Amino acid sequence: GAVVSQHPSWVICKSGTSVKIECRSLDFQATTMFWYRQFPKQSLMLMATSNEGSKATYEQGVEKDKFLINHASLTLSTLTVTSAHPEDSSFYICSASRAGGDYNEQFFGPGTRLTVL
């Protein structure tokens, strides 16, 4: 199968601190990884798309200096929420597309629940 993991699965932090979330494709190489945010009872909102070795493409309204994305290898992408505030509390989900595979399918990680106090 195509398994994507995220770490941590949940995190609680104080306002003003930075939080790093890792997204790994465990058994395949992911040329493209996507970061989503989901607020309660709302749909997934794409934050950014990252390709290995290049800068991430951010969606309109998403602050690139606040949400730092690094896609250092074909199996790892990280999202760092800098100077987190309570309004950043949300469910963050990553997904990955497989290199050489069907571009249509995204494989999702289990998500990271961030709570900023």
Partner 1 sequence: GQNIDQPTEMTATEGAIVQINCTYQTSGFNGLFWYQQHAGEAPTFLSYNVLDGLEEKGRFSSFLSRSKGYSYLLLKELQMKDSASYLCAVLDSNYQLIWGAGTKLIIKP
Convert 97-112 to b/e letters by CB count within 10 Å (16 or more is b). Answer: bbeeeeeeebbbbebb
- Distant-in-sequence, close-in-space partners of 62: CB < 8 Å, separation ≥ 6: 47, 48
Q: Closest separation between CB of residue 91 and partner 1, Å?
A: 8
Instruction: Write down the least CB distance from residue 111 to partner 1, Å.
Output: 4
- Note the residues at the interface with partner 1 (CB under 8 A): 34, 42-46, 91, 93, 103-111, 113
* 13 vs 44, beta carbon nearer partner 1: 44
Least separation in angstroms between CB 5 and partner 1: 11
Residue 14 C-beta-side C-alpha neighbours within 13 Å = 2
Q: Is 63 helix (H, G, I), strand (E, B) or coil?
A: coil
In the complex, least distance from residue 53 CB atom to partner 1, rounded to whole angstroms: 20
18 versus 42: smaller Cβ distance to partner 1: 42
For residues 16 and 27, which CB has a smaller minimum distance to partner 1 in the complex? 27
- Closest Cα partner for 71 from 59, 81, 60, 56? 56
Given the complex with partner 1, which of 11 and 44 has the nearer CB atom? 44
